[in-house]
Amino acid sequence: MTVTKGHKGNRHNPGMALDVAMFDGHAVNTSAVARRAASLTARRSVKGAWQAAWLINAIRCMDLTTLAGDDTPARVARLCAKARQPLAPDLLTALGLAEMPLTVGAVCVYPTLVADAVRALAGSGVPVASVATGFPAGLMPLPLRLAEIRYAVEQGAAEIDIVITRAHVLSRDWVALYDEVAAMREACGPAHLKAILATGDLASLRNVHAASMVAMQAGADFIKTSTGKEGVNATLPVGLVMTRAIRDYHTATGHIVGFKPAGGMKTARDALAWQILMREELGRDWLSPELFRLGASSMLGDIERQLSHHATGRYSAAHRHAIA
């Protein structure tokens, strides 16, 4: 599978008319999905310099995120400083990467903090993403959710992480879900739309597949597993179903859609596992920040510790790798 347009900022999924035949009646063998997901990391091992390279790539694809009720402009500014320089200069030198421009994929904040993040990231090339549409539950009237999208874009957000109405999926009201996401796509204007499916709330892998297809048909540029607030967040079986949906959608339409797992990912091992999934299911083109994001922040600290161990042979203390 070859990506012909992957540069950040110039690729949108144009979507298509709702076509229920692309997913209705699509069976998902849960036990087979579980076996395939388990085999991904069991069959492929990444060690030494290769592991270090994959971990560096994980940093490039990371959405550094703060979505706490006590977020402040000062906290966002510290997070943005980390986004600009995710690894300490001495560690980059030890890894032989002192001249490599390394930043994260994006910084994700609430809409009211977008302007602060934009100012802190000016000139860095790191885009600002914002959750919207009544994150995390999404249970607000649609006009208010659309207004929140427009506000975040006006403040400078280049990416919008929306949440779908889970009830539309659970009741299999695909027209309502399609119309909702399509309206959100229009409200985003030039910004990229990342559709959060909240897969832990969707009850079945069959529903995950159907919701993925509807979101892509409605114009989502990325599909994303979770808000990070559900009881169950990103899992490899769910990721497998969503990446297969991306592959099928691309085969049917030629349109390219990115993927973002989020929630519950904390370790460097998790970063490797998700990249292996992308490499195996979608190919190398999807191992770039244009088409793959990791919605995790605490993971960065463990990645730094693993890279420090690779460079020095010693594990550093966790407090040396603060996120912000």
Q: How many CB atoms lie within 10 A of CB 231?
A: 6
Helices (H), 218-267: 236-253
User: Looking up tokens 């114009």, which residue turns up?
Assistant: 219
The mean pLDDT value for 6-32 works out to: 85
Torsion angles phi and psi, residue 161, rounded to 5: -100, 100
Domain limits, the chain: 20-46+106-298
Interacting residues of 223 by C-beta distance below 8 A, sequence separation 6+ = 194, 195, 197, 212, 215, 216, 242, 245, 246, 257, 258, 259, 260
Helices (H), 171-297: 174-188, 205-217, 236-253, 268-281
pLDDT of residue 318: 64
Fold of 20-46+106-298: TIM Barrel (3.20.20)
Q: What's 74-119 look like in SS3?
A: HHHHHHHHHHHCCCCHHHHHHCCCCCCCCCCCEEEECHHHHHHHHH
Q: How far is CA 275 from the centre of its chain?
A: 12
Residue pLDDT, tens place only, 234-280: 999 999 999 999 999 999 999 999 999 999 899 999 999 999 999 99
User: Looking up tokens 């999926």, which residue turns up?
Assistant: 169
Which residues form the catalytic set?
161, 224, 260
The mean pLDDT value for 51-60 works out to: 97
Distance CA 131, CA 196 (A): 10
pLDDT of residue 25: 85
Residue pLDDT, tens place only, 109-165: 999 999 999 999 999 999 999 999 999 999 999 999 999 999 999 999 999 999 999
At 157, list the tokens: 């957000």
User: Looking up tokens 């244009």, which residue turns up?
Assistant: 290
Q: How many CB atoms lie within 10 A of CB 27?
A: 8
Closest CA to 118 of 150, 151, 80, 145: 80
> Please, what is the Cα angle at 288 between 29 and 226, to 5 degrees?
45
Torsion angles phi and psi, residue 194, rounded to 5: -115, 115
User: Looking up tokens 């000139």, which residue turns up?
Assistant: 123
As a whole number, the mean pLDDT across the chain is: 93
